[in-house]
Amino acid sequence: MLTILVLHGPNLNLLGQREPEVYGKQTLDDVNQQLHREAKQLLVTLEVLQSNHEGDLVEAIHSAWNRCHGLLINPGAYTHTSVAIRDAIAGVGIPTVEVHLSNLYRREAFRQHSYIAPVAIGQISGFGADSYRLGLQALAAHLRHSTPS
């Protein structure tokens, strides 16, 4: 069975109350429940962590090496600032899908650059909480097609 690490970056613990016109009304718990339902359908196991601290996210990525098959990450604001998270993903070489609730390219100019995208196999943004579900589906399909049985 495939194991996928799901990482939620800073401020995602505030989903449902923080700028609902941008990020939607679903809470992080709602997103995680949706992901667990989807994972069950896809026959994958999820490990889920949310942190507002860059180092915690880096440590989680490091600990996934040789343990998890894939990484689904919403780095939040670290998308635009964290070379450390980018380097951690590149360093462990785990197939990664970057997801965002909002469409980065319809937002402020500083949000339109991702340090993560160049080390990810793909990026899904702009579909609210469904970005996570779609990202999980894409990652699971990629892993099944690229992992020998």
In Å, how far are 5, 18, 51, 55, 144 from 32, measured between CA atoms? 12, 17, 14, 22, 22
What are residue 125's DSSP bridge partners? 100
Give the CA angle between residues 102, 56, 116 to the nearest 5°. Answer: 40
Residues annotated within the binding site are: 74, 80, 87, 101-102, 111
Write down the catalytic residue from 69, 78, 100, 132. 100
Annotated catalytic, 23? yes
Q: Residue for token digits 């992901």? A: 35
Measuring CA to CA, which residue among 3, 33, 9 is closest to residue 129? 33
Write down the catalytic residue from 8, 23, 115, 132. 23
Residues annotated within the binding site for substrate are: 74, 80, 87, 101-102, 111
Gap between the Cα atoms of 89 and 103, Å rounded:
22
Q: Which residues are catalytic?
A: 23, 100
